[in-house]
Amino acid sequence: MRPRMLGAVLLLCASVAMGFASLVIGTENIELGTVVQEWRAGRPVADSPALSVLFNQRLPRTLAALLGGAGLALAGGVFQALLRNPLATPYTLGIASAGAFGAWIAFILSDAGWFVSGVLGIPSVQVFAFLFAGADVLLVYMLAARKEHSSPAVLLLAGVTMGMLANSGIMLTRYLAAPDRLVAMDRWLMGGVDVLGYRPVWTLTLGVAPCALVLLAQAGKLDQFGFSGELAAGRGVNIKWLQILTFSVGSLMTAIIVSVIGPVGFIGLIVPHAVRALTGPRHYLLLALSLVAGGGFLCFCDIIARKILPGETPIGIVTTLIGGPFFLYLLMRRKFTDWDA
């Protein structure tokens, strides 16, 4: 228990440090001294370059990375338990592809002059991404849940198939789109937390926070379900309800995140894995720390995207470049006998 707790505290510190670093590091580094000075002096944000960069760009961007990364990592841990599969991610059920398909439809529609400006000030790309991701999840569920308990395998296969269908939809929209629009559309696919203003941050907060609380509260039941569904049922866990709840809330949260920051990959896969190596498989620690580490990891990737590679690299590329090799390392290091039951 002791080393686990120490690891947990270190992880928490690292994530907080990433959040701070993400505030000050960028194309132009911000001097903390200057910020404090100008803040003390009561200068209006608009008059101070340092304050303006901090509050109008860095802070919303950092918050978006923290919230998006936290949510994706948590959803990954939950889906791995729900599908009883270590390679499950929040995107296994096709949410990312379906969301991307929706976003591309929105691009095409606006080019065709059917401009839908958005709902309640939320851009149409975001709205479409969310609606398509939601439709995907409903379809997957209807396909898989006709029996008393939906079998994880059927859920997984239905999700993978829906993802492939959405991908061919993306190909089709690509084919139909004006060539000069492809750059913008591709850019969306690569993801980004370079949000403008606080509206996306609010969307993320309202989407992630309640879902995360609901999912964290299922930790004990996920432990039971992961050990044995039937044994869990005998102990009074309502398996069907647990499946429906984690499936729908996890999907909702993922869909909201994807609609705002795009289908940023690998976080939902590697963060729960790395955290599991530290905490063991009990879900209360695993999920809580995945939340923390996910936020820190996406901040870290965003700093790299901004600073280390020339120009602004799309964050999805950074997470994949870091996440892929790291996952291979985890694969080689871990004994996987415990998963192949």
Q: Judged by CB, which is closer to other proteins: 19, or 86?
A: 86
Binds other proteins (CB under 8 A): choice among 177, 233, 278, 304: 233
Instruction: Name the E strands within 179-311.
Output: none
Taken as a whole, the chain contains a residue count of 341
User: Considering only 109-117, 159-167, 231-239, 248-256, which stretch makes contact with other proteins by CB under 8 A?
Assistant: 231-239
Question: Could you identify the residue written with the tokens 């978006």?
Answer: 64
What is the amino acid identity at position 264? Answer: V
Applying CB under 8 A, does 5 fall inside the site for other proteins? no
Q: How far is the CB of 84 from other proteins (least distance, A)?
A: 4
Applying CB under 8 A, does 1 fall inside the site for other proteins? no
| Cα dihedral value 249, 255, 257, 262, nearest 10 | 160
Q: Judged by CB, which is closer to other proteins: 52, or 85?
A: 85
Q: Do residues 249 and 82 lie in contact, with contact meaning Cβ atoms separated by under 8 Å?
A: no
User: Considering only 14-22, 136-144, 226-234, 251-259, which stretch makes contact with other proteins by CB under 8 A?
Assistant: 226-234
Q: Judged by CB, which is closer to other proteins: 40, or 146?
A: 146
Q: Judged by CB, which is closer to other proteins: 58, or 276?
A: 276
Q: What angle do CA 90, 93, 95 make, to 5 degrees?
A: 70
Binds other proteins (CB under 8 A): choice among 114, 115, 202, 227: 227
CA separation for the pair 212, 68 (Å, rounded): 11
Q: Which 234-273 positions form the footprint of other proteins (CB under 8 A)?
A: 234-238
Applying CB under 8 A, does 220 fall inside the site for other proteins? yes
CA separation for the pair 139, 163 (Å, rounded): 11
Please give the size of the binding site for other proteins, defined by CB under 8 A.
Answer: 32
Q: Do residues 218 and 242 lie in contact, with contact meaning Cβ atoms separated by under 8 Å?
A: yes
- Burial (CB count within 10 angstroms: exposed 0-12, middle 13-18, buried 19+), residue 46: exposed
**Chain positions contacting other proteins, by CB under 8 A:** 81, 84-86, 217, 219-221, 223-224, 226-228, 230-238, 276, 280-284, 337-339, 341
